[in-house]
Structure 1
Amino acid sequence: MEDDSYFEDEEFSPVRSLLGLLTFSTILPINVYTSIEYMTKLTWCWPFLHVFVGSLAAICGYVSLEFLHLNSFLTAAIVYGFLILITGYNHLDGVMDMADGVMVHGDAERKINVMKDSSVGAGGVATLFLVAVLTVGGIYNILDYNFILGIIICEMASKTSLITTALLSRPLVPGIGSYFIRETNLANFLISTILVLCIAFLIGNLVGVVGVLGACLGGILIAGIARRNFVLANGDVLGMSNEVGRLFALLFMAVALYFI
């Protein structure tokens, strides 16, 4: 285990660990810290924590539309900006780093070295731009159908995508991402995903369910790309999965809103 003073060792507490996970993944002033081992034991609960984050983003969108009378496109951009800001830009570097690693020629070791390099290449910048633009477009599309609750679903589903990738990946150690991967198993993944599907159905009926399934597909896709290029996966891969999962959830819901 790598030494990181961000965490402190203590007895395991589910409540403290959940609050630590929320502290880790957002800029909310919770300031509850726990050891990385204890925090990641509840990785499967991550989507439920982000129901709250998604709800804040949905409120932001509602205020923009109903009180500020902004159009759907500008509201979509504001909602996306709110989501990446409140999550502390945590996963954007993962998008760029993984994209750079995939784009470079060479074996898995070379690709991993490029992915872990602090510099950013054209592939990383272009991929982040595409993911961001398509995500804003996806939010804009569901807002056009007055499906503002889809914002909650896509944020929750982004974490389902992440744990889907974690389930299907082998960890690259050392690294914080390896703890999330090792603590994700089939049993807690199934429990988490079934509960997420139930919540999505309660919020958005079949459209919500389709969104979660889209996020799972995004997680499978990123896991496959990572396995093919790097063999192993780290936090950058999980970050990419989070952002692609949100995007896939939005795209699948946008299509479902037309047909259902």
Structure 2
Amino acid sequence: MEDDSYFEDEEFSPIRSLLGLLTFSTIIPINVFTSIEYMTKLTWCWPFIHIFIGILAAICGYVSLEMLHLNSFFTAVIVYAFLMIITGYNHLDGVMDMADGVMVHGDPERKIRVMKDSSVGAGGVATLFVVASLTVGGLYNILDYHFIYGIIICEMAAKTSLLTTALLSRPLTPGIGSYFIKETTITNYFASTIICGIVAFLLGSLVGVLGVIGAIVSGIMIATIARRNFVLANGDVLGMSNEVGRLFSLLFMSVALYFL
């Protein structure tokens, strides 16, 4: 999320901008590009785009679990690998970079320098391992309950977590992440979150709604950590929020599946 020369300037088109957002966040070869300013105007629609990604991942999980008769753990690993590959490992560098920045001692300026450094430290690698392992564990848990819809919900909710962090953060400029933060307003955030809650309820009743709530909690947590350590937020912080948001969504749904 650093070089906006990747985009072309043109007249605003909602459909083209949505497709541009899909191009930006996945490896699906639609190759539709638009300016970063126009693309991020529809940041609030990002969770809905990832409903489609979640559906593809859910199909992958269904085939593995029900047709190939693989066990839940193996299926969880396959689903997680699919999500990482189709999204081009887009946010994993954010997990490592933010973790490195948080782990280092010093003032916000030093922490930001470490976060933006291209090298990765032990804290970043260890944090990525923990987040990835727990996410696989969460997928394993919901698949044990044969709750395939949970895959769709957690992928959608990951972007709700990202939007929550964006809403509560001040942008670090320059950087593409700052455009997403600036375009996330209270109005479009609540519209997006309410729609996500409705979709989650239709897919998973109260369990699905709790998955979205888990993502919101994650977004608040990451925004708070970023504010205390960096004051400002960038694309790395948003990336961390996305990955931890998926994890917290799975965590909340896993607990709900046991008790409800």
TM-score by length of 1: 0.99
List aligned pairs for 1:1-260, cutoff 5 A: 4-260=4-260
Distance (whole Å) between structure 2 residues aligned to residue 259 and residue 183 of structure 1: 38
Report deviation, 1:4.
3.2
Deviations 1:32-90 (A, max 9, x none): 00000000000000000000000000000001011211100000000000001100000
Render the CA deviation track for 1:1-26: whole Å, top value 9, x for unaligned.
x8733100000000000000000000
Query: Per-residue deviation at 1:170?
Result: 0.1
Distance 2:88 2:251 in 1: 24
Task: Letter of the 1:68 partner, please give it.
Answer: L
What secondary structure does 1:80 align onto? helix
The letter of the residue matching 1:211 is G
Amino acid at match of 2:117: D
Secondary structure of 1:5 counterpart: helix
The aligned amino acid for 1:42 is: L
Structure 1, unmatched stretches of 5+, are none
2-side partners of 1:105 and 1:51: how far apart?
Answer: 39
RMSD: 0.8
What CA deviation, in whole Å up to 9, does each residue of 1:145-172 have, x standing for no partner? 1101100000000000000000000000
Alignment-mate amino acid for residue 151 of structure 2 = I
Q: Which runs of 4+ in 1 moved over 3 A?
A: none
Percent identical among aligned pairs is: 82
Aligned residue for 1:31, secondary structure, equals coil
Mean Cα deviation higher: 63-72 or 235-244: 63-72
The separation in 1 between residues aligned to 2:4 and 2:64, in whole angstroms, is 40
Change beyond 3 A, Cα 1:211–1:81: same
Amino acid at match of 1:120: V
Gaps of 5+ in 2: none
Q: Tell me the secondary structure at the aligned position of residue 222 of structure 1.
A: helix
